[in-house]
Amino acid sequence: MILEYQLQFHSPLVGTLDSDMIMGSMAWALLRCEGEQALQSWIDMCKQGNPPFVVSNGFPTGFFPKPMIPFRKKEQPLHKQEQIKEARTNKKLKARKWVSTNLFYEMLNGTFVQMPGMDEPRDFIGQQIHAIIDRTTGTSLTEGGLYETSYRWFSMNISLYFQIFDLSWENRIDDLMKYLEYEGIGAKKSIGYGRFRIITKQHMQVRRINNPNGFVVLSHFVPSRDDSTNGFYKIKTKYGRLGEEFSKGVSVNPFKKPILMIEHGACFYTQKPQKFCGRILSNISFNHTDKVVQMCYGFIMPARLPIIDGNL
């Protein structure tokens, strides 16, 4: 079962709405709502390779990330002017981040599509200057006493997709989302960032994909040992921070160890049906090695990927 939550943000978000950040926020919400035993039970299920659900990154409603499928080359040689025109078109398409829902499903079905020159949703990225307060004097530092925070204003509603494997979690996910709606999400939520309202919650009807030979991932994730490595993807380095009380204390290092993650839109070939990809990571904190984990799962959609140089 797949649920879509449409969110309307009414304050900026510090950071990005990545799936691992969302699951981390839900873990803190579960701890507050149901206690440590319930959270540990969820973590144990994930460590056994049996997560009750996975979640996508947050996308503009009505759009999905452009699958990282390579462009097809023309079989017939082109004249020079045609080559230049095609190179310019491909450059524009390569820079594109989002595709509409209909276009996304056409690409999942292996259809060669001509992308229209429509405008993409673009968020506003801003910076805010803060002063560092010296805790001994209660005043700002005279040297190096400023730091900068980047924030993001979403230009339209945001959709989150939950793929639920254990149906007993449907109501729990709803409770946790309502908790985050009240509490906020992301960094700096205590001073008003990351506030949203749930507009709708509905079941997502997945369209049929003919003869799938792989999948497209809708989350940032870290592959497990059993995941396919044959595909198209980009890698980003994530520098995460500890949350809530784990980040407090004079001797505590608030940063997690850097993590290499595969970005959403990645495509992988496989003939093995699977429900999700990715895994849970442990030993990523310098101070709380036995408690802090990172849920780096990928929400996958079946796809018919092009055969290139016999890569399947």
The two tokens of residue 104 are 């996304």
**Tens place of pLDDT for every residue, the chain, 312 residues?**
999 999 999 999 998 899 999 999 999 999 999 999 999 999 999 999 999 999 999 999 999 999 998 766 666 666 778 778 777 777 777 778 898 898 899 889 887 666 666 677 888 888 888 888 777 777 877 777 788 888 889 889 999 999 999 999 999 999 999 999 999 998 888 888 999 999 999 998 888 888 899 999 999 999 999 999 999 999 999 888 787 777 666 666 778 889 999 999 999 999 888 899 999 998 888 877 777 889 999 999 999 988 776 555
pTM: 0.87
Distances (CA, A) of 289 to 25, 35, 282: 19, 20, 7
Query: Distance between terminal CA atoms of the chain?
Result: 29
What amino acid is encoded at 288 in this protein?
H
Helix/strand/coil for 269: strand
What span, in angstroms and rounded, lies between the C-alpha atoms of 282 and 279? 10
d(CA 212, CA 215): 8
Q: What are phi and psi of 304, to 5 degrees?
A: -100, 100
Q: Which of 2, 1, 3, 9 is nearest to 198 (CA)?
A: 9
Q: List beta partners, residue 152.
A: 13, 125
Q: Which residue has the tokens 């408690």?
A: 291
Token couple for 160: 């989150």
